[in-house]
Amino acid sequence: MREFELIRQYFAEQNVARKDVELGIGDDCAVVRLAENKSLVVTTDTLVSGVHFPTDTDPKAIGHKAIAVNLSDLAAMGAEPCWVSLALTLPEVDEAWLKEFSAGLFELCEFYNVQLIGGDTTQGPLSISVTAHGVVPNGTQLTRSGARPGDWVYVTGNVGDAGLALQAIFGEASLPQDTFDKVKKRLDYPSPRVLVGQSIREHATSAIDISDGLLAELGHLANNSNVGFNINLEQVPVSNELMNSLPTEQAYCLALTAGDDYELLFTASDEKKVALETAMTHSGVKFACIGQVNGSNNIELNLEGKPFDIETEKSGFKHFS
Ligand code: ADP
Ligand code: MG
C-alpha cells in the first residue's frame, strides 16, 4: 500500500467537518479560519513505542492516547480544541493496526468536535506525533505562572492509577485481575479534562496538566510562579484500587510521582474559591482541594499533620535518565 492510499483509506475520511476548516487533508497545507477575538493555542506531543507506551499496547489505545495527551495540554491552558495534525512513523503498513489506531484517534476527536487537518507519514520505528490547535478568547489563557501565596490548590479525578498499572505491567506490583483491568484502562484511555479547563478559565490563577506526576507538576508551578506549596496528602484524590493495592505511604508516593494520569492541577484565589467550586460542580468532574500556595520556594507535604518525606529522585518521570 502506498502512502497516498494509506492516508486516503485510514485518515482522510472522518465524521467531523468543521466550518472553520477551509482546506483539510490533501493539499500542501491545511487552512483554518480564526475568529477575530480568538488567540491560537498550539501544542505538540510525541509518543514513542516502548518509551511512552508499552510495545504491546492495543493500537486503539495508542490512537486515543496520542490525541488525549495533546487535548490535555490544551485543557491546561483553558483552550477549546479545534484541529489536530498527525505525524505518523510506522515500521510497516499493518492494516489491522491502522484500522484500530485510527478508530481510537477519531473516537476522541469526534467527542470533542476536533478535525484532523493534515499530517505526514513516514517509515521507521513506531512513533506518533500530534500537534493540536485550540482557541481562547484573546488574553484569557491559563498559564503556569499565575499562582499566588494564599491561593487554593486543586486536582481533578484521581492520581496514581496509571502508575499502578505500569508497576503491574513491569512486574513491580501484583494485582487482582479486576483491579488491573480498571487501572490499565486509566493508563490506556486517559480522559483529557477539556471542559474543566474551559470552565475554570475565568476563576483559576494557574493551571497545568499532570503528565509527569503531581509532585513534578507542582514543581513546575512553583518555579514558574515563584511560590511554594503546602499539600495535605490525605486530601490528594486516590482510587480505592490504589489504596487497597499498596501500603498507605507507598500509595501516596505513587500518587505523587507516577505519570500518565492527565488530570488537571490548578490554583484559585480565596475570592474566587466559591465561584470555582461551583463551576467544577457543574462540570460533573470529581475534584479535590489538596492544599494552599505559600510564599516560600518549597513544597511541603503533610500526611495527617505530619511531614511526609519523599526521595527527590522520585519526583517525576525523567526522559533522559
Ligand atoms: P507533502 O509531500 O506535500 O508534504 P504528503 O504526501 O506528505 O504531502 O501528504 C499529502 C496530504 O496528506 C497532506 O495534506 C498531508 O497533510 C496529509 N497527510 C499525510 N499524512 C497524514 C496523516 N498521517 N494523517 C493525516 N493527514 C496526513
Ligand atoms: Mg509530507
Q: Which amino acid is at 146?
A: G
Which ligand is nearest the CA of 116, by number? Answer: 1
Q: Cell digits for 10?
A: 485510514
If you average pLDDT over residues 97-117, what whole number do you get? 98
Q: How many CA atoms lie within 13 A of 252 on its CB side?
A: 18
Which residue in 80, 88, 78 sits closest to 25, CA to CA? 88
| Whole-structure pTM value | 0.94
CB-based burial, 246-267: b 16+ in 10 Å, e otherwise: beeeebbbbbbbbbbbbbbbbb
Length of the chain: 321
What does the alpha-carbon distance between residue 107 and residue 287 come to, in Å, rounded to a whole number? Answer: 25
Mind listing the pLDDT tens digit for each residue in 21-52?
999 999 999 999 999 999 999 999 999 999 99
Ligand nearest 28 Cα, by number? 1
Evaluate: CB of 119 within 6 angstroms of ligand 1.
yes
With a CB cutoff of 8 Å and minimum separation 6, the contacts of 2 are: none
Q: pLDDT tens digits for 190-234?
A: 999 999 999 999 999 999 999 999 999 999 999 999 999 999 999
Q: Whose CA is nearest to atom 9 of ligand 1?
A: 120
Q: Which atom of ligand 1 is nearest to the CA of 120?
A: 20
Please tell me the distance from the alpha carbon of residue 52 to that of residue 46, in angstroms, as a whole number.
8
28 CA → ligand 2 middle, Å:
8
In the chain, at which residue ranges do the beta strands (DSSP E only) sit? 21-23, 31-32, 38-48, 80-90, 115-123, 127-137, 152-156, 204-210, 228-232, 263-268, 287-294, 299-303, 306-307
Question: pLDDT for 159-197, tens place per residue?
Answer: 999 999 999 999 999 999 999 999 999 999 999 999 999
CA pair distance 219, 196, nearest whole angstrom = 22
Closest CA to 205 of 233, 225, 223, 220: 225
First CA to last CA distance, the chain? 38
Distance in Å, CA 121 to ligand 2 centroid: 7
Q: Which amino acid belongs to residue 142?
A: L
**Given pLDDT bands bounded at 50, 70 and 90, which one contains residue 317?**
very low
- Give yes or no for residue 134 CB within 6 A of ligand 1: no
Ligand 2 centroid – CA 31 distance (Å)? 16
